[in-house]
Amino acid sequence: MERGLLWLPLLGLFSWLAWAGWNEYRKLEAYKIWAIDFERAKYDIYAALGQAADRIVWGYPTRNGPQKIQQVSLKSVKTITLYTGKENLPAHQTLPKGCQVCLGLACQAGEVRLIPFTDFELASRWQKTLQTLLESLQSTPNP
């Protein structure tokens, strides 16, 4: 009987791990369906991000697909900045708990939209790609 009681917490741990794995699998499958419409997309624990033409869309990943979706057109973006740490963030902006890097899109209206990332290298690649796209959009004359 004592041995059975010793194994009970381990059974609980394995059950929780199985649930957590299934939960993450469902998030990833929902992201795959959501990302089909985009030319470029990324998924991590803080945000699902997609880019199609000049439109950037991001939201918080859940089992039912990204929630709290935000979007911005690159035509309305002035600058793209990579923020690391919380001390150099724009005023009145916060990052999700534990997040240390984000991409800041400064819009012509004056607001800054933050897209959180888990990995600095990935955020840096996205910044370079979006910056190149932004420069090509700005150099193209509007009809």
Cα-based torsion angle of the residue sequence 55, 125, 122, 83 in order, rounded to the nearest 10 degrees: -80
Rounded to two decimals, the pTM is 0.75
What is the pLDDT at residue 16? 92
Averaged over 88-92, what is the pLDDT? 62
Q: Going edge to edge, which strands form the sheet with 40-43?
A: 40-43, 48-52, 55-60, 67-73
CATH topology of domain 2-139: PH-domain like (2.30.29)
Q: Greater confidence, 1 or 143?
A: 1
The pLDDT tens digits for 28-85 are 888 888 889 888 888 888 888 898 888 889 888 888 888 898 888 888 888 888 877 6
What is the pLDDT at residue 17? 93
Element (H, E) at 18: helix 2-35
Return the bridge partners of 67, or none: 60
